[in-house]
Structure 1
């Protein structure tokens, strides 16, 4: 899934959120965010420490903290236990209610689950969960991006363009990798004027953006003239 991995990384998103929120939440909510911070360097020793400290906390609290689960899943990934990482993330789908307090962490957990589902070929399940995410948060750039990727993989460029366009707009037209994919979808749909507009926007922000001039913009211009 190079398309998704080239422009987003849910673990990095979680880390940035942790940095932003860690001083704003109550002490009881800080454990998961602090654990994510400890995992930033992706060191095995820190991951083992997070597992040692967080697994008992998850059992003792009587309820699931999505950031704590995300940290545990990431720690399992670092110590090369991907099955355990996937299994603990799955519990967030049914066991944690979507509330304003849980929304951000829960969304990130679900996006991790989506990534796992796509990697294992369970695209229908991924689409269902992405729809669930968008029902709660209609501005989730990453969810639209995943849906665009899945539609592009099926060569459904109309649906790909619809989702990439939503991701493009909700990202403030600053995520250039999304813009590139949107321009490509427009090219495949023969919507050359729209394709050219997106290409020019990208090149205005990044004049040397890789491949877009030769592989997309020039082709769109040539086809528009013929």
Structure 2
């Protein structure tokens, strides 16, 4: 339950500048802290300490992040390869805009053989490091990490979405669309951001009908979704009209 309340922080996609979208998580944080208080006892398990650190960091306050880092250092002093603490420390560095430190914390995880006890943490480490590599235009390294993630979990929508972004950055729009298609399906065609990316790459790949179809699906659920109508739907329709006129 605690992980569910922290999901916005644990699963948030980092953008190219190393920052994440700001989400109001006040209510979720209160509920999470209430549950953590129930587990507050001497000799806490390391996994509980890590969850407390994430809850502390989710406030975004510098002092809270630094306090969490000190607690994570204690865990790592006891076990230098405790994956949850390594990942949480990388998370803290990203929040502090210390991307190189986060990368250096994540790279050893990416080279370790996956531990079945920490499947989720390995997945999140791969994706966070992939986000960093995409931001620094190291697309081959990002692709390798996303493919490792997919090999471990074919239902990981974030990995498919990141692969789509890699191909989009390389201007391989058809390949990007194929990967965004999978991410779109895995989200049951309900994510407007993925729908936008898919429709955009359909447009760039000259798959105009497909672009229009996705636009309609997104706009049916989110009528005011920004840029969808003007930048994709209207442009796709115009491209079809031009192609039709050229054939006459």
Q: Report if TM-score (shorter chain) is over 0.5.
A: yes
Matched, 1:95 2:105: no
Instruction: Say whether residues 1:5 and 2:15 are aligned partners.
Output: yes
Sort the Cα spacing of 1:81 and 1:152 in 2 relative to 1 into closer, same or farther, 3 A. closer
Q: 1:217 to 1:62 in 2, by over 3 A?
A: closer
Structure 2 contact 46–75 (Cα < 8 Å) conserved: no
- CA drift of 1:98 comes to 3.6
Runs (4+) of structure 1 moved beyond 4 Å? 8-12, 21-24
Listed as ranges, the gaps of 5+ residues in structure 1 are none
Match of 1:219 in 2: 235
How many residue pairs get aligned? The number is: 216
Structure 2 equivalent of residue 52 of structure 1: 70
CA contact (8 A) 2:14 2:21 kept: no
Local SS of the residue matching 2:49: helix
User: CA 1:202/1:80 → structure 2, altered by over 3 Å: closer, same or farther?
Assistant: closer
Contact 1:10 1:108 in 2 (8 A): no
Q: Which residue of 1 aligns with 2:4?
A: none
User: 5 Å matches for 1:1-226?
Assistant: 5=15, 9=20, 27-61=45-79, 63-65=81-83, 67-95=84-112, 97-99=114-116, 101-225=117-241, 226=244
In the aligned structure 2, how far is the partner of 1:87 from the partner of 1:140? 24
Task: Tell me the distance in 2 between the aligned counterparts of 1:81 and 1:187.
Answer: 36
Distance 2:139 2:109 in 1: 19
**CA shift at 1:80, angstroms?**
4.9
Distance 2:147 2:131 in 1: 14
Task: Report how far residue 63 of structure 1 moved.
Answer: 4.0
Corresponding residue SS for 1:138:
coil
Tell me if structure 2 keeps the 8 A contact 1:33–1:68: no
Is the radius of gyration larger for structure 1 or structure 2? 2
State the TM-score, normalized to the length of structure 1. 0.83
Cα deviation code 1:66-124 (max 9, x no counterpart): x312221222344454332221111211235241x311122111111111112222211
Q: TM-score, normalised by structure 2?
A: 0.76
Structure with higher RCO (Cα < 8 A, 6+ apart): 1
The answer to whether the 8 Å contact 2:130/2:142 transfers is yes
Unmatched segments (≥5 aa) in structure 2: 1-12
